[in-house]
Structure 1
Amino acid sequence: MKLLRVGPVGRERPAVMDEAGDLRAISEEIDGTFLASGGVARVRQALESGTLPVLDAGGLRVGAPVARPGKIVCIGLNYRDHAEETGATPPAEPVVFMKAANTVVGPYDEVLIPRGSVKTDWEVELAVVIGETARYVETHEEALAKVAGYAISNDVSEREFQLERGGQWDKGKSCETFNPLGPWLVTAEEVPDPQDLGLRLWVDGEPYQNGSTKNMIFGVAEVVRYLSRFMVLEPGDIINTGTPAGVALGLPGTPYLREGQVMELEIDGLGRQRQTVGRA
């Protein structure tokens, strides 16, 4: 299934793409509570019984498919080619950092260059949405069973803030609008192998990123298992699993994002995003 939220900012309505179905009879939101309470199974049952009312989503804004994530956990340097292009040694364990939850915006919403920024960069990533509490997970099979589904994430980053201003990476990752998500939450059964997905990104129509999740150093199952040793992952949490090569940071001479430019992103089976760049 492909779950989404449509409508103005703060007034999105939950829906399912499969039958253009209105989910408000099942839940007012697609969030951690919905996922933890078996919401996906209830939607599936309603689809099978044909009881969902039709939602005419034509012309409506598409919001992020998950409302109010509790936390966004990010994995850095998780693609071999990206580590190479940035001159970093591939990590022996996942590099973990956090991104503010209120960075999440819709997949077609404007991305704002922060005030004082000179190095705002793009990163197409596979986002993992947690559906069940994950605490001290032991096996990869158990880890994947905790996943509700997958989405496209643009882990927008300000590289000077991240790398040249001291401290940890979070300050270059948590600026407003720095996590377009969606357009859909594609449920896990529709993604039988998260390690076999192509990821692509263009800026003003020029291709920059063209990778595959096969190139991850730590796959989705290992990332979930690993993180559960250090923090409790809860329904509605998002994990950004890293980006392949082709970011401006790794391409000497490549300009960073400028006002008016357009980013387009896609991942096999998960849809496509498009953002225009503005200024804060």
Structure 2
Amino acid sequence: MTTESASQFNHLETLSTADLLAGMNQLDHTVPQAVAKALPQIEALVEAVVGRLGAGGRLFYIGAGTSGRLGVVDASECPPTFGVPAGRVVGIIAGGDSAIRQAVEGAEDDAEQAWKDLQAYNITANDALVGIAASGRTPYVIGGLQQARAAGLATGCVVCNAGSGVAAAAEFPVEVVTGPEFLTGSTRLKAGTAQKLVLNMLTTATFIRLGHVKGNKMVDMQLSNLKLVERGERMLMEELGIDAAEAAQLLKQHGSVRAALTARL
């Protein structure tokens, strides 16, 4: 596995802070290039997820450690960004929610547990499952994908090694080969960055395709704090050519940017 290959940098403990940062930054520049090579695979996965969610299904992420946490983060950001229900995108991490903050030893080694975890959500063949694993060999993810695929779910993955067991288990694999890490084997670095980029692309493209964006604006976003309320008011001012006071009144009256625009257009 290239993610486990020795770093091209050595004697890290002897380097200055400036040299450590420069080395990490140098390798980070290679991540977008690796993601670009995987764009056709990402496109195929997006199309599959759009099909399932467009028909009323849901998107689930499974992963362990950093990979699992990235899935939880991406899922949690979909409701405020796109105004979708909290259960539309769900992130599940090996070891349960407590593993988000503290590692649960051995949780990723159980090939049966992911499917058991998914049963709590009344999983159906209308749903999509994406496994996230930098190594591509996590038993928790492989087992979950295998059982989900057999049950008729659309299955995808995001891995950072070529020819992995996780990719083989998924119908729509995304392989972003990021190579050796600055700190040997520390896949929370380049690999984690690549996974975050792909997950951002997956859900953003999906919900744009499903109609949750107008122009380049998040018209379905939840107005959950002052910053977002002010953003919503600016959207209305720009779209309708009105002043701040009228925009504030409209937003308060209708409760969302989309509803306010629909009422006025």
Higher strand share: 1
TM-score by length of 1: 0.25
Higher relative contact order (CA 8 A, sep 6+): 1
Q: TM-score, normalised by structure 2?
A: 0.26
- Structure with the bigger percentage of helix: 2
